[in-house]
Amino acid sequence: MARREAPAAGPGSRALVVDVVRSAVAVSRVELAELTGLTQPSISLIVRDLIADGVILESGSADSVRGAPRKLLAIAPGSRFGIGFHLGPDTVTSVAVDLTGGVVGREVVPLDGSPDPDLLAARFDDFAAGLDLPRDRVEGLAVVAPAARVSPEWATVLSGRLGIPVLIENDSAAAALGEFWSRRVSRDQSFGCVYLSTGVGAGLVFGGALFRGTSFDAGELGHLSIAYDGRPCPCGNTGCVERYASMAATVEAARADQDLSSRLRLGGSVSSAYDALARAAVSGDHAAFEFVDQAAAYLAVAVTSMVNLLDLGRLVLTGPGMAVAGSIYARRLRTHLAATAHARHRHEITVDLSAQPRDAAAIGAAALVVQASIAPGHTPSLTAPSR
């Protein structure tokens, strides 16, 4: 790889080094220079600054064929923390992560009515106090939800109330960053995350950074049309995959089958009805399986188009819709990609299931804070409190 000189303090070089250390788990300075293309003097200066900032540490040594053992570098997990809130339909999921993306605290509380900055500020104080995290090590708060649920102006209000930086983000995008960060995915991979909830969304990570688009609206997978003369969508389009494959659409279809709806008791909220349908589907109920599998087939068509357009190499399926029936979706998608992905003969397209699909957005929110604090330039700036 050709060497490129970059200012040691530049955010791009710093972010690059942090990403390589994160994904490698432990790496020497010599290996960092080889993997990043930066010169040894630049690596030495960046590493020195990162150690001084508490972001990385020397974690041991490895034998060298050329002389003295090489000291290994790793992320320092407990030096800083990020906190993320995910606003669900009727709950707030709160998560704290360390610098590796590892979860150090989680709590889910009911959400009565519409959220507002006062409620979220009180939730932050209770959650942080319960974990006994040193306040000076909490780098900030990120609040994530479907795009229409939270006002961007809340960042300023919350930052002023709490005295810490605050970020507002879309839940699908946050989930993608969380999966990328906690899985230690290499920044060289084109990475996508499909988020199945009452709607359908996607998050995309290229070069270690979230891709957001011109108006921060990238990843609207739910509004990719799979039928030009299909069902009308509130967005103004027709045939949107969200009208066929979301949790809400699947429950609507299943409820139309009166026998199945009565037998599985599909009343109540969309979330509870979908979970009941999904449990029946994976337990061998043929009728329930048909509805979930049909939704998975619709989603596979849309996701394959996304994979073909962006030449993705790795996908993670996450969100509450994947918590119970994720195996059905994964099987459908793998089969469809194996048969129709444009790049299938050139590289593998990996499809994984999230280990924590219900918490992925909250974990991602906290990871956004961590990434913004130690690798500036990868994420939008956190809204800092007024001084």
| pLDDT value at 261 more than 80 | yes
Domains, the chain, in order of start with CATH, read 11-75 (1.10.10.10), 79-172+361-374 (3.30.420.40), 177-358 (3.30.420.40)
- pLDDT number for residue 64: 58
Please give, one letter per residue, the 3-state secondary structure of 204-231. Answer: EEECCEECCCCCCCCCCHHHCECCCCCC
Q: Which residues make Cβ contacts (< 8 Å) with residue 125, sequence separation at least 6?
A: 162
Residue 268 has pLDDT above 80, yes or no: yes
Listed in sequence order, the residues at least 6 apart from 316 whose beta carbon sits closer than 8 Å to its beta carbon are 176, 179, 183, 191, 192, 193, 194, 351, 352, 353, 354
pLDDT of residue 222: 95
pLDDT, mean of residues 134-157: 86
Chain segment 362-383, per-residue pLDDT in tens: 999 999 998 888 876 555 556 7
pLDDT > 70 in the chain, percent: 92
Question: Residue 5 has what pLDDT?
Answer: 44
Indicate if the alpha-carbon torsion angle 196, 199, 204, 208 is positive or negative: negative
What pLDDT does residue 7 have?
42
Strand partners, 85: 94, 143
pLDDT score, position 359: 94
Tell me the mean pLDDT in the region 350-355: 96
- Looking at residue 380, its pLDDT comes to 57
| The pLDDT of residue 94 is above 60 | yes
Residue 8: predicted pLDDT: 44
Q: Residue 312 is which amino acid?
A: L
CB-based burial label for 387 (10 Å; 0-12, 13-18, 19+): exposed
The reported pLDDT for the residue numbered 225 is 95
Q: What is the pLDDT of residues 217-227, one digit of tens each?
A: 889 999 999 99
33-46 average pLDDT score: 92
pLDDT band at 85 (very low <50, low <70, confident <90, very high): very high
pTM of the model: 0.87
